[in-house]
Structure 1
Amino acid sequence: MASEPLAHAAEAASHHGFDLAPIVILLGAAVIAVPLFKRLGLGSVLGYLAAGLAIGPFGMGLFSDPQSILHVAELGVVMFLFVIGLEMQPSRLWSMRGEIFGLGLAQVALCIGLLTCVGLALGYPVAQSFVAGTGFVLTSTAIVMQMLDERRAMGLPKGRRIVAILLLEDLAIVPLLALVAFLAPGGADATLADRMAGVAIGLGSIIGLVLAGRYLLDPLFRLLGKAKAREVMTAAALFVVLGAALAMQLGGLSMAMGAFLAGVLLSESSFRHQLEADVEPFRGILLGLFFLGVGMSLDLAIIAANWHLIAVAVVAYMALKIFGIYTIARLFRAGRREAIERAVLMAQGGEFAFVLYAAATAVGIIDTQANAMLTATIIVSMALTPMMMILHDRLVPKTGPSMEGVEAADGLAASALLIGFGRFGQIVSQPLLSNGCSISIIETDTDAIRNARDFGFKVHYGDGSRLDILHAAGAHDARLVIIAVNDRELSLKIAELLRSEFPMVPVLARSFDREHAIELIQAGVEWQIRETFESALALGEKALEVMDVDDEERQRVMEDVRRRDSERLAIETAEGIYAGRDLIHGNAPQKKAPARPGSK
C-alpha cells in the first residue's frame, strides 16, 4: 500500500510488526481536511475527497494503490445501506408512499432520460451514456441533508419532500447495480437456462435472508441481550450486516442489496436502535475511507487532458438535471420558489455515483479513463453546489411569510398581552383563558397562527420588538404583558422596549437559563421564570416521594431549595448591576466571584 516516500518507514516498521504508517496518514489527512472543509461550508464529503487527492498517487504520492483501499472501504457503502434499511420501517414507507414512489420516481425517471441524452449527443454507446447519466441523477445525500439542516428546512414540508426523493434515490441504487451487471458486455447474451439459474439462485438468497431475518435475528439478539456483553452485541451487529452482504454476493447479487434487506428486516425490531448505534461508527469511518480512496483515484493527468469535455459534462448534466427537477416539482404543484430552490439544491451528483461507476468499470461498461472523468464531473458538481446556493439566495428575492388567513395586530384591547404563542405561550394562556381573562396574542410564525386558529385560538400577526406593533396590540392599556417568545435575544429586546415605553405595565417573561434570567431582571421585568425550573423541581420532589421521604420533610426541602435559589439569583443580579455601574463610571471592574454550586 505504501509507495516510495513511505518505503523506509514501512521497512523499519516491518521489523516491529504491523505497519501503522498508512493508517496514521489516512486518519491524519481526514482529521485535517474534513473540519477545514466543513468550516468553509463545503461539507465533509469534499473534505475526504480533497484529502485523498492530496495524499494519493496524483498528489504527494504517499499511496500508490488506491484500489486496495477502495476494496476495504466498500464495506462503508454496505453499512450505509444497512443503516438506510433500518430507517425504512414499512409503516414509514407506507405513510410517505406518494412522495417517495410518486414524486421521487418521477424525478429520477425524467432525469435519467434527460441525462442519458448527454452521452448519446457526445457520440457514446447507449450503455455508457445510461450509466454516466444515471450516476449523476443520484443526488449527494450528505450535501443536501447538511444544507437542509443548516437552512432549518428539514422539518418543513418542502424539506420532507426533498428527503422523500433522497430516500427513493437511495432505494434506486440497488436495482441500478443489478442493471449495470445486466448491461455488461455479455450480460445480455447468456443462455435462458443460465439466466433462469441465476434468477433462481438470487431469489433463493433473498428468500433465505428474509426467513432468517424474520425468525432468527430477533431471538439471537434477545439471547445476546441477556448476556449483557456490549462487545458481543457489536460483533453480532457486524455479523448480521456482513453475513447478509455475503449471502447476497454468493447468490450473484450485490452486497449492498443484502445489507439493505437486512436493515429493512430489522427496522421494526426492538433492537433497531442498538444495532444502528453499534454499526454507525464503523459506517462513518469506512464511508470516509471510501471517499478518501475515491479522491486518491482522481487522475489529474486525465482531467487536465480532458478538461474541456469534463466542463461540458458538468454544465450539461447540471443544467438538464435542474430543468428536470424543476419540471417535476411544478407538475406536482410545488410553488415556483420551492421548485427553484429544490432544483439548485439537488443539481449535483452524489456519493452513490462513485459506487455505480466503480461497478460499471469492474464489469467492463466503462474504462478507467472514463471512470476518472465521470468521477471528476461528480466532484466538480459537488463543489459548485454550496456556491450555487449562495448565488440562489442572493438572486432570488426573499418574500415575507404568507398572510393568507392571518390578521395583523391592529387596535387590539385586552387585559393581558401575550407575545409569542409557541409551546410555552400556549400553556401560559390556558389558566388566563380558563379564568375568563381577555388576552391579545401576537406571533410572527404564520403557520403557527393558522394552526392555532384550527384549535379555536385567535392569534394576530405581530413582531413584539416593534413599538408600533406593541401600541396596535394594546400594550399601553394592558394590565400586564407576558413575553413567551422562543428567542432569548428577542425577548431581552422586547423587555427593554417595554421598560422604556410602558414603564407602568408589569412584564412577566420566560427565561432560558440563569444568565438570561438575570439579564431580564436587569431589563426591568416584574417577574421571570426559567422554562425548565419548575418542571425540574417537580421531578426532584417526585424523586423524594419515591424514596419514601415524608410529606412534611419534602415540603421543607423544596421550600429551602426555592429560597436558596432566589437568594443566589438576587445576589448575582445585584453583582451584575454593580459591575455594570463600575464600567459606566469608568472604574476598573472587580474580580469576578467564584461560581457558586448550582448557579448555572
Structure 2
Amino acid sequence: MQNVLVYIIIALGLSIVINIFLKKIGISQIIGYILTGTLIAYGFDLHKASHSHALEMAGEFGIVFLMFTIGLEISLAKMGSMKREIFANGFLQVGLTTVVTYLLAHYIFALGPKSSIIIALAFSLSSTAIVLTYLKSSKEIYTPYGQNATGILIFQDIAVIPILILISFLSKEGDQKIFVILWHTLLSVSVVIAVMFTFGKRVVAWLLHFSSSSEVDELFMGSVLFIVMASSLFAYYMGFTYSLGAFVAGMIIAETKYHHKVESDIAPFKDILLGTFFVVVGMKIDIFLFLDNIGLIIGLFLLIFIIKSLLMFLVLRLSSSSATSLKTALFLSQVGEFSFVIFALAASGHIIDEQLASLLVLIVIFSMIVTPFFVPFINAITTRLIKEKDIVTDMSALKGRENHVVVCGYSVVGKFVTQYLEELDVPYVIIDNSNKHVQEALEEGREAYLGDASKTAILQALHIEKAAAIIVTLDNIAKKRLICEAVLNHSRNANLIVKVVSLEEKEKLSDLKITNIVDGKVEVARVLVERMLTCQLKYR
C-alpha cells in the first residue's frame, strides 16, 4: 500500500511538471499524462501493473465522465440547429473514412475483418480535445470552418458510443456475422436510450431540483455523481459500456436549467480520471517498439493524414467553398484520443492482437504530438493553396466609409433591423460569419460581407471608429461578448447597441461599457402596454 501511494505521488508531481512545460510550447496535456505513464513504467518497472483491473477501471471512468460532459454539450436543441454540420457532414466523413480505411486494412494489409473494422472506425475519429481547445482559444470556433469542424466532432463523439458498444459485442459474440452483431447492437441501445429518456429523465429532473432547492453544494454534487454512476451501471448491466449511460445522462441534463452548473462542478473529476486513463495508456507504451518501427509509424500516419484530409475535403465541398472545406479537413486530419479507448478495449477483448494495438497506439500518439504544431499554420497553408474568397471578404469598397451603421448578424432580428434602417434611409453594412446569411443578404440586394466581427482586422476594414452605431443582433451570448469586447477594445467611444433575450445574458455583459442593451422581453412588454393604452384611448 505504501509503495502504491509513493507511485501515485510521483506520478501526480511528474504530470504537473511535464504539463506546465508542454503548456508553454502549446502541446496538449493529454501528451503530458501519456509521457508521465511511460516514465513511471520504465522508471519503476511497472509494465505489469498497467494491466491491473483496478487501475484500468479508474482510467475507464475518466472516459465515462468525459462522455458525460460531451453529452452535456449535445442538447437536442443544439443538434437541431446544426443538422447539416452534425448529421450530414459528420455521417459522410465517418462513413467514407471507415469504408476506405477498412478496404486498405483488410485487402492491402491483410488484416482480419473484425480487426479491420475496429481500426477503420478508430482512424475515422479526430481529436476533440486538441481541435476544440485551439478553435476556442483562437476565437475561430464561430467561423464557417470552425462550425463545420465542431459539427463533425460532435457526430464523432456521438459515434464513439455505438463503436464502444460494438466492441463489447464483438468481444462476446464469437463467430457471429458482423451484420447480426450490428443489428443486436442497434436494437439493444435503442431500448436503453428509450428507458433513460422516459423514466430516467423524470428521475434526473426530480433529483436535481430536490438537491438544488436544499442550497447545499455537497448534496447537489452528490446527486450529479449518483446520476453519472447509476446511469453508467445501468448501461453496463444491460450489456453495454459504462460510457453509454453517462453520455445519455449528460444529454438529459443538457435539457434542464442545471447543465451549466453541472458541467462546471463535474470538470475536476473528469480531468483527474481522464488523466488517470492516459497515464495507464502511457504505461503500456513500448519505446523500443516505437524506435524499431519509426519509419512505419510515420508512413502510416502520413497515409491516414492524406486519406482523411482528401475524403473530408470532398464531403465538405458539397456544401461549402474550397477554402472552408480545406481548412476544416486539415483541422480534423489527425487521429483522436478516443482511438486509445477503442484500441485498449479491442486488445483486452482479443479482437486486435496486443502487439498490433501497441503499434496503433503509437501512431495515435505521434499524430496528437504533431497536431498542436501544425494547426496554427492551417490558415496560411490554405491561403497559399486556394486563392478564392468564401463569398464577399474583399472590404476595399468600405474605404472612406463613415457615419454608417454596422449590423452584426443577419438572422431574423438582423433582417428586421436592416428593413427599419432602409425605411429611415440610414446607410448600413452587414457583417456575418455565416455563408448562408451573407448569401441571403446579397440576394436581397443588401451590402453584406463575410467575416468574424470579433477580429481586429475585420473591425478595421469596417471602419468601426467612424461608424454611427454598431448593432449586435446575434443570439449566441458567447459570440456577442467576443464582439463587444473586440469593438470596445478597438474604439472605446463606439456607439454599441446589443440585443439580449434574458436577465442572465444582460448580467453576463454588465461589466462592459455598452452604450445600450436592449432586452427583447422588456421591449415586448413595453409595446404591449403602449398598445393597451392606445386601445383604451380609442375606446374612450
TM range (shorter): 0.7 to 0.9
**Given the alignment, which residue of 42, 45, 65 partners 2:49?**
65
The structural deviation recorded for 1:273 is: 2.9
Q: Which residue of 2 aligns with 1:46?
A: 31
Q: Which amino acid aligns with 1:177?
A: L
TM-score for the superposition, normalised by structure 2: 0.73
Q: 1:222 to 1:453 in 2, by over 3 A?
A: same
CA distance in 2, matches of 1:51, 1:335: 42
| Distance (whole Å) between structure 2 residues aligned to residue 207 and residue 445 of structure 1 | 39
**Structure-1-length-normalised TM-score:** 0.66
Distance 1:337 1:201 in 2: 42
Q: Which residue matches 1:532?
A: 513
Task: Name the SS of the counterpart of 1:58 in structure 2.
Answer: helix
Which of 214, 218, 222 is residue 201 of structure 2 equivalent to?
214
Measured after TM superposition, the shift of residue 186 of structure 1 is 4.8
> For residue 140 of structure 2, what is the aligned residue in structure 1?
153
2:224 paired with 1:240: no
Give me the whole-angstrom Cα distance separating, in 1, the residues matched to 2:362 and 2:244: 26
Q: 1:408 to 1:419 in 2, by over 3 A?
A: farther
Match of 1:326 in 2: 313
Assess if the C-alpha contact under 8 Å between 1:406 and 1:446 holds in 2.
no
Note the 1:165-204 alignment, pairs <5 A. Answer: 165-184=152-171, 186-189=173-176
Aligned with residue 347 of structure 2, among 348, 356, 361: 361
| Conserved 8 A contact 1:298-1:372 | yes
Distance 1:42 1:311, change over 3 A: same
Per the alignment, in what secondary structure is the counterpart of residue 41 of structure 2? coil
Q: Distance in 2 between matches of 1:458 and 1:194?
A: 55
CA change 1:355–1:451 in 2 (3 A) is same
Query: Alpha carbons of 1:393 and 1:58: their partners in 2 closer, same or farther (altered >3 Å)?
Result: farther
Paired position in structure 2 for 1:114: 100
Residues 1:344 and 2:316 are matched in the alignment = no
Alignment of 1:282-293 (within 5 A): 282-293=269-280
SS state of the match for residue 57, structure 1?
helix
Q: What 5-or-longer segments of structure 2 have no aligned partner?
A: 451-456, 471-483, 497-510, 518-540
Give RMSD over aligned pairs: 4.4
Q: Which region of structure 1 is more displaced relative to structure 2, 117-126 or 440-449?
A: 440-449
- How many angstroms apart in 2 are the aligned matches of 1:73 and 1:139? 20
**What are the Cα deviations for residues 456-514 of structure 1, in whole angstroms up to 9, with x where unaligned?**
98789999979xx99xx9x9xxxx9869794567549xxxxxxxxxxxxxxx6679xxx
> In structure 1, what residue type is equivalent to 2:265?
D
Contact kept in structure 2, 1:206 and 1:248, CA below 8 Å: no
Q: How far off is 1:358 after superposition?
A: 1.3
AA aligned opposite 1:389: V
- Larger-Rg structure: 1
8 Å CA contact 1:405–1:450 kept in 2: the answer is: no
Aligned with 1:216: secondary structure? helix
Match of 1:30 in 2: 15
Q: For residues 531 and 275 of structure 1, do their structure 2 counterparts lie closer, same or farther at Cα, with a shift above 3 Å needed?
A: closer
CA distance 1:117–1:185, shift in 2 (3 Å): farther
2:382 and 2:181 map into 1 onto residues whose CA distance is 56
Residue 85 of structure 1 contacts residue 262 of structure 1 at CA under 8 Å; is this kept in 2? yes
**Shift of residue 163, structure 1, vs aligned partner:** 1.0
Q: Does the 8 Å contact 1:139/1:349 carry over to 2?
A: yes
Distance 1:460 1:126 in 2: 50
Deviation at 1:51, TM superposition (A): 2.6
CA contact (8 A) 2:408 2:431 kept: no
Shift of 1:183: 3.1
Q: Could you tell me whether the CA contact under 8 Å between 2:27 and 2:372 is conserved in 1? A: yes
SS at match of 1:350: coil
- 2:68 is aligned with 1:87: no
> Does the 8 Å CA contact 2:404/2:468 hold for their aligned counterparts?
yes
SS at match of 1:184: helix
C-alpha distance in structure 2 between counterparts of 1:116 and 1:372, whole Å: 19
Cα displacement string for residues 356-408 of structure 1 (whole angstroms, at most 9, x for unaligned residues): 11111121111221111110011111122233335544443366966749875
Aligned AA for 2:341? Answer: V
- Which amino acid in structure 2 is aligned with residue 52 of structure 1? G
Contact 1:114–1:324 (8 Å) recurs in 2: no
Pairwise CA distance, 1:72: 0.4
**Residue 454 of structure 1, CA deviation:** 9.4
Letter of the structure 2 residue corresponding to residue 301 of structure 1 = F
C-alpha separation between the residues in 1 aligned to 2:467 and 2:329? 45
Say whether the 8 Å CA contact 1:100–1:167 is kept in structure 2: yes
Amino acid at match of 2:208: F
Q: Choose the corresponding residue for 1:310, options 281, 297, 312.
A: 297
Report the counterpart of residue 132 of structure 1 in structure 2.
119
Kept after mapping to 1: 8 A contact 2:392/2:449? no
C-alpha change, 1:434 and 1:194, in structure 2 (3 Å) is closer
* Matching residue of 1:102: 88
Moved more, 94-103 or 452-461: 452-461
| Kept after mapping to 2: 8 A contact 1:444/1:463 | no
Report the equivalent of 2:321.
335
Counterpart CA distance in 2 for 1:322 and 1:314 is 12
Given that 1:118 and 1:317 are in contact with CA atoms closer than 8 Å, whether structure 2 keeps it comes out as no
- What amino acid is aligned across from residue 181 of structure 1 in structure 2? S
Amino acid at match of 2:250: G
Structure number with higher relative contact order (C-alpha < 8 Å, ≥ 6 residues apart): 2
Deviations 1:317-348 (A, max 9, x none): 22211221112112x23222222222221111
Cα displacement (A) at 1:32: 1.6
Unmatched 5+ residue regions in structure 1? 2-9, 12-18, 493-507, 512-529, 537-600
Q: Which residue is equivalent to 2:479?
A: none
Check the 8 A contact 1:37/1:47 in 2, yes or no. yes
CA distance in 2, matches of 1:196, 1:405: 48
Residue 356 and residue 258 in structure 1: after superposition, are their counterparts in 2 closer, same or farther (change >3 A)?
A: same
Q: 1:202 to 1:456 in 2, by over 3 A?
A: closer
Counterpart for residue 259 of structure 1: 246
Query: Contact 2:339–2:364 (CA<8 Å) still a contact in 1?
Result: yes
Distance 1:37 1:359 in 2: 28
Amino-acid identity (%): 24
When residues 204 and 131 of structure 1 are mapped into structure 2, their CA distance, relative to the original with a 3 A threshold, is closer
Q: What displacement does 1:253 show?
A: 1.1
Structure 2 match to 1:371: 357
SS at structure 2 position matched to 1:155: coil
CA pair 535-86 structure 1, distance change in 2 beyond 3 A: same
